[in-house]
Structure 1
Amino acid sequence: IPNSVMIGFVNALAILIFLTQLKHIFGISIATYAFTIITLLIIYLLPQVFTRIPAPLIAIILLTITAILTGADVKTVGDLGDIKRTLPHFLIPDVPFTFETLKIIFPYSLSMAIVGLVESLLTARIVDNATDSFSNKNRESSGQGVANLITGFFGAMGGCAMIGQSVINVRSGATTRLSTFTAGVFLMILILVFGEWVIQIPMPILAGIMVMVSVGTFNWKSFNFIKNAPRTDAVVMLLTVAIVLATDNLALGVVAGVIVSALCFATKISNITVKRSDSADTIYYSISGQIFFVSIDALMNQLDFDVTNKTIYLDFKNAHLWDDSAVNAIDTLIEQFNKKHNTVYLQHLNKDSHKIISALSDINKKHLI
């Protein structure tokens, strides 16, 4: 996935996280504004003098106690829904296992898989940079896939590595995988044992923490990226963000960004240079560049098909044939030259180009020298 698409994905994700928190902050009560501001102050100022306990955890504990004791007019976790204080159990979904069912769920599962994979790979890269380590991305992705297959039979939602949570984890001092396992175990304890307390946590506290996550997730260097990067890369990044925000679909933004980036790349490398030199009855063409479906017209437009009774050498020393469209173009140009009683020879084809010509072309081997 191009880096410009990754930057766009991260920025769009940060903006979506931020926008989803606004409904928990604005238009509710004065106390909601106060709790949000105090949460942000604790998160950003406390680490400057005390780091033994993560600042977000301190904010949650202190402000939740404050809200309970003062009866502050704020919405709580319990206002959003009930927390079932039970362990999940094994369950096979009661749906018909037919092709019709697959057609219904496939678009959603594909979208979730794309988003989950991209976010997991981005998270792995961010954590690698933060911890000065290197992770096996294939192993991480496979582990996520196996976990999703298993947990699906216990009623779990699809999951993936999370940028915001991982950033908080690392900034709070986590250095090994044990921190992730601990987070899962602690979450289970909170639900099963302290569920009655969890539902009393004020939403503005969690909203303030997520605002901090969105600010930390956003790639602030992307403004310099827009200014200094090639124009096509900047457009791809902005397009990815725009599509995600317009559709609320991270997968669509990623897919569109990859496609546009691929088209831009194809355009960049489609420049073909043809140098011609003549001597007596011989014409020598030196061809440089990548020959594939995008660059064929550029190649054809630089050849003179009006010459007659000539020996023509096409030198591919500095060129590469990539696809069947390139082979078809070679067949076409040889045919066009032959119609004017010319003799054509292909020179210095590299190993891969020679292989694809031999496999897909009908030209006589005598043309290859």
Structure 2
Amino acid sequence: MREILAGAVATFALIPEVIAFSVTAGVDPSVGLYSSFVISVVIALFGGRPAMISAAAGSVALVVAPLVRDHGIQYLFAAGLLAGMFQMLFGFARLSALMRYVSNSVRTGFVNALAVLIFAAQLPHILNAGAIGYAVIAAGLAIIYLVPRLTTRIPAPLICVVVLTALCSALNIAVPRIADLGQLPDGLPMFAWPNVAINLELLNIIFLPALAIAMVGLLESLMTAGVVDDQTGTPSNKDAEARGLGLANVATSLFGGIAGCGMIGQTVSNVKYGGRGRLSTLAAGGILLILMVALKGVVAQVPVAALVAIMIMVSIDTFDWGSLRRLRGTPLLSNLVMLVTVAVTILSHNLSMGVLVGVLMSGVFFAAKVARMQSVRRDGDSYVVEGQIFFASADAFIDAFDPLNHQGPVTIDLSRAQLWDITALAAVEKVRDRFARNGLAVTVVGMNATSGLAVPKVP
């Protein structure tokens, strides 16, 4: 029961976002809702991270919007189908290990930026709510945060939805309802192959969008899986998650849905209210379908303000507030990476862009730090080199040698150094050539075997 109720909370957290993301993508809200049902069911059965909620997502909507605008919805289905195949290939190739290169600073920035974007998505509803709307939102937040002090057997967001819907209907309070957000589904999703001609022109149109969908979806799903790993203290199979997501996107594209990925806000909500297994994910999709089809008339009357209150709670729970307290004790460059990840994500409304910039910054800062871990010590006509020699430290290595202050043969001892790349080898060659131009013979000794590089000894 706990799993089912947690899934129900995730369902109500899904509805407003999925409808909003469908509008962003340029498709009918029913497309996003069908997609969320299909993806939830498939990922519950075949995914690698139990308790994770996957559905139509804003990051994917931003990618596909130009495709839908220029070529139509059938090309969206075709691109989603190809994207799912890419993701399955990614999973079978076991490429999830690449996620280890995403630093904790980037992950924290990803989570915090997403919390801000979730809250920002509610601002249009909040700013246009009016006095009555503000009162309903405030009542919803009061229920969400006060009810757990009385009981935790039923998730507070569910009580919020039921109470506010009954109250607004009984008192005939004039507030926007879910029915005002867009057309809801009229029946079950139907299997249909994308109505496009299969030829090279199709591949030319959908290849890059499909690749973008695949990469953005994988990035967001694997990052979300990592957040759940941390929150629950349990491991997950990231390659299985990639394969499951790919299969889910293939399935949803064949049932008239938009491709999707992991939803961190809804996942955090699911985990918070007791979701730990696959049943909660399955329940989220199943309850969504029941609400949208069998109970469409009832769901249509749910106040948007109730959903806004839930999403405000989700954004608050998603944000890593401890990261603000840790700013003083965390290295400056790590803080900078986290803050830039947040800023780029918010400004671009693109999670993958923020993560990409954060990863690049982390790599540059790490290379700069390692580059300083080298020294060249002179002892007469001999040099002893210690530390790491690679593209970022090669220039400093070259500048450490002075051919003008030697009269006899020179020895360079690299036994305490590590050469990492072709730039390091080129640096050693340049040092040798400098001495040679001054008529000095150079002997390089101690070349480390692990570098895989070889510098010939010069007589």
TM-score, normalised to structure 1's length?
0.90
Q: Give the secondary structure class of the aligned counterpart of 1:260.
A: helix
Listed as ranges, the matches of 1:214-253 within 5 Å are 214-253=315-354
Per the alignment, residue 294 of structure 1 pairs with 392
Within-5 A mapping of 1:338-349: 338-349=436-447
Determine the C-alpha separation between the residues in 2 that align with 1:260 and 1:99: 38
SS in 1 for 2:404: coil
Q: Per-residue CA shift, 1:137-195, capped at 9, x if unaligned? A: 22222221222123222222222222221221122122212111121111111112111
1:199-348 aligned at under 5 Å gives the runs 199-271=300-372, 272-278=374-380, 283-348=381-446
Tell me, what secondary structure is at the counterpart of 1:356?
A: coil
Range moving further from structure 2, 102-111 or 28-37: 102-111
Q: Which residue of 1 aligns with 2:189?
A: 88
Read off the aligned partner of 1:254 and give its amino acid letter. Answer: V
Query: How far apart are residue 356 of structure 1 and its match?
Result: 2.5
- How far residue 216 of structure 1 moved from its aligned partner, in angstroms, is 0.5
Give the 5 Å matches for 1:19-30: 19-30=120-131
Q: Is the 8 A contact 1:112 1:251 kept in 2?
A: no
Mark the structure with the bigger radius of gyration: 1
One-letter identity of the residue aligned with 1:196: G
**Whole-Å separation in 1 of the counterparts to 2:289 and 2:170:** 26
Q: Which residue identity lines up with residue 54 of structure 1 in the other structure?
A: P
Whether the 8 Å CA contact 1:5–1:258 is kept in 2: the answer is yes
1-structure distance, mates of 2:365, 2:213: 26
Q: Are the aligned partners of 1:111 and 1:251 in contact in 2 as well (CA < 8 Å)?
A: no
Corresponding residue for residue 453 of structure 2:
356
| Matched ranges for 1:73-112 at <5 A | 73-97=174-198, 101-102=202-203, 104-106=205-207, 108-112=209-213
Per-residue CA deviation, residues 4-58 of structure 1 (Å, 9 max, x unaligned), is 1111111111101101101112233322111111111111111111111111111
Q: Per the alignment, do residues 100 and 316 of structure 1 end up closer, same or farther by CA in structure 2, a change over 3 Å counting? A: farther
Higher helix share: 2
The answer as to whether partners of 1:284 and 1:315 remain within 8 angstroms in 2 is: yes
- What is the DSSP-based 3-state SS (H/G/I as helix, E as strand, rest coil) of the residue aligned with 1:90? coil
* Other structure's SS at 1:25 match: helix
User: Does the CA-based 8 Å contact 2:148-2:156 persist in structure 1?
Assistant: yes
SS of residue paired to 1:33: helix
CA contact (8 A) 2:118 2:265 kept: no
The amino acid across from 2:119 in the alignment is F
Counterpart residue number, 1:143: 244
Contact 1:307 1:340 in 2 (8 A): no
Q: Is contact 1:309–1:343 with CA below 8 Å preserved after alignment?
A: no
- Gapped regions of structure 1 (runs ≥ 5): 358-362
Q: Structure 1 235/134 Cα, relative in aligned 2: closer, same or farther at 3 Å? A: same
Q: Distance in 2 between matches of 1:153 and 1:221?
A: 43
Match of 1:185 among 286, 290, 294: 286
Q: 1:227, 1:85 → 2: CA distance? A: 54
Post-superposition offset of 1:239: 1.0
What secondary structure is seen at the aligned counterpart in 2 of 1:72?
A: coil
Q: Report how far residue 256 of structure 1 moved.
A: 1.2
Q: Which moved more, 1:298-307 or 1:144-153?
A: 144-153
C-alpha displacement at 1:95, in angstroms?
Answer: 3.9
Most deviating of 25-34 and 293-302? 25-34
Gaps of 5+ in 2: 1-101
Q: Aligned to 2:431, what secondary structure does the other structure show?
A: helix
Give the number of the structure with larger relative contact order, counting CA–CA contacts within 8 Å between residues 6 or more apart: 2
CA distance in 1, matches of 2:264, 2:211: 20
CA drift of 1:109 comes to 4.1
Q: Indicate if the aligned counterparts of 1:116 and 1:161 stay in contact, CA closer than 8 A.
A: yes
Deviation readout 1:272-307 (Å, 9 max, x if unpaired): 2111111xxxx2211122111111111011111224
**Secondary structure in 2 matching 1:319:** strand
Counterpart of 2:141? 40
Matched, 1:175 2:266: no
**Contact 2:265/2:314 (8 A) holds in 1:** yes
Report the secondary structure of 2:125's partner residue: coil
Q: Which amino acid aligns with 2:379?
A: S
Corresponding pairs, count: 357
Q: CA deviation at 1:226?
A: 2.7
Q: Distance in 1 between matches of 2:195 and 2:424?
A: 52
Deviations 1:91-121 (A, max 9, x none): 3333455566555545544444444323322
Is the Cα contact below 8 Å between 2:341 and 2:358 reproduced in 1? yes
Are the equivalent residues in 2 in contact too, given 1:309–1:340 (CA < 8 A)? no
User: How far apart are residue 248 of structure 1 and its match?
Assistant: 1.5
Q: CA RMSD in A?
A: 2.0
TM-superposed CA distance for 1:268, in Å, is: 1.0
